[in-house]
Structure 1
Amino acid sequence: MVDLSKIKSIPERTDEENESHLSESSTTRAFFHHLERFQVKKVDSERMFLKVQLPWNVIIPAENLDAKGLMLQRSIVVRLLDDFAKKRATKDLGYYLAVSTLESIGEGKVRQHTGDVLFPVVFSGITFKIFRGEILDGIVHKVLKHGVLLRCGPIENIYLSCMKMPDYRYVPGENPVFLNEKTSKIEKDVVVRFVVLGTKWLEAEREFQALVSLEGDYLGPVS
């Protein structure tokens, strides 16, 4: 339970000072400055799913405070989930998928200019990130003359070039496909097992792209 008696007051600020303060205490800045203090580890045997423990700043409107702190805790969790979803992804940890546990809630600080209260929290969550050399499954969502685009989890732009599909040839038509001599097909909505050659982080879009290959044992369409 959150002890409201421990909430401190922050001196009144002008709009410009308040905006500057928010920027300095943003979740992104806190995340990168304190990342080394927290664990990042695998979940089960899947390397692409990471269990992370991170600091976060949650701002709660004054009307969501109550004497017993029960409504406040709920408000903190709801706001944290909302902030987490909007964050989408980071270069270091990949795509944010879920908050699993709220580990701790720090001392609240009142922002007198708005009456809101800022709470530093620490939580555990799950993220998704693929790595070079991993073998994964993806679903074909677009067939092009020189390759196909697949999706794997939240990653939409995974490119498999025809140069990395040994023995496959492109067959044009209303529903284009790649075929090999064993009549194995790579077409839209087919699940394909591939190996990751490399990834690229796009800062503006806050998403990853990946290049993959079928060169290796047991790679290709999954029946």
Structure 2
Amino acid sequence: MSFRYRGQLVDTLESEELCVCSPDRFIVASNLVFPGKSSYRLEKKMFIKVKLPWNVIIPAEAMDPNGHMIQTAVLTRLLDAFASKKATKDVGYFIALKSLEEIGEGRIRETTGEIVFPVVFSGITFKMFKGEIVRGVVHKVHKSGVFLRCGPCENVYLSHYKMPGYDYVGQGNPLFVNENMSRIQIGSTVRFVVLDIQWKEAEKEFIALASLEGINLGPF
């Protein structure tokens, strides 16, 4: 089944998918605040610039009979859908939608009457990679190690076995300290190397292992 809506061919469509194409790693510097998410202020991190094809669903009753508001309706629905996504294994955490690149031909779902528009947009995602050096902020301290928050990822584990020269001090506010009185405690910003990273499908979350074994690593 198909029809033309203000000069635009509208066909049936019974499925929707999110897929990924053309990721390109690059560096974004400065303090960034990302709309639609919790605010993260990052000094310099590795991000991924992506172009994503997506299907945007518009209820038939929301369509402007004259077709003037198609782009606005599509963009509004796309922003809502993007904000509700957390992360995927391939591209990491969804951070910011930059621009709507293309709106394809609309198709109608026979079962619901909804109109589905395939779109392509550019955006920014965040993902750590094994072997890269990044920064994180300590938010939990245990005798066995600490947990750091790196951007939207809150599960970066730094074991005490990977903190050469640091000893645990449990009195008062627990912390790790070395002979130079350098401290790793809640609120400390730490430069570390990513040892490994794992994707947890059920939680839509990454877990990373960190190490301070290397040059210029540690709190600062």
How big is the shift at 1:53? Answer: 0.5
Tell me which residue corresponds to 1:66: 64
* Structure holding more helix per residue: 1
The residue number in structure 1 matching 2:91 is 93
5+ residue gaps, structure 2: 29-43
**Range with greater deviation from structure 2 (67-76 or 39-48):** 39-48
Contact 1:10/1:109 (8 A) holds in 2: yes
Equivalent residues of 1:64, 1:71 under 8 A apart: no
Equivalent position of 1:173 in the other structure: 171
Gaps of 5+ in 1: 12-20
Aligned pair in 2 of structure 1 residues 44, 165: CA closer, same or farther (>3 Å)? closer
Q: CA shift at 1:124, angstroms? A: 0.6
Displacement after TM superposition at 1:174 (Å): 2.9
Match of 2:101 in 1: 103
Moved over 4 A (4+): none
Instruction: Give aligned-pair identity as a percent.
Output: 54
Task: Give the C-alpha shift of residue 9 in structure 1.
Answer: 4.4
Q: Secondary structure of the equivalent of 1:39?
A: strand
TM-score, reference length from structure 2: 0.85
Structure 1 letter corresponding to 2:8: K
- Asked if 1:27 corresponds to 2:17, the answer is yes
Question: 1:172-211 alignment to 2 at 5 Å?
Answer: 172-211=170-209
Which has the larger share of strand?
2
Match of 2:53 among 41, 52, 55: 55
Distance 2:47 2:190 in 1: 19
Instruction: Quote the residue 2:38 is aligned against.
Output: none
For 1:17, the equivalent position in structure 2 comes to none
**Per-residue deviation, residues 61-109 of structure 1 (Å, max 9, x unmatched):** 1122114534221111111112112221111110011111111111101
Report how far residue 110 of structure 1 moved. Answer: 1.8
**Equivalents in 2 of 1:130, 1:9: separation in Å?**
40
Q: Distance in 2 between matches of 1:194 and 1:9?
A: 52
Residue type at the aligned position of 2:203: E
Match of 1:4 in 2: 6
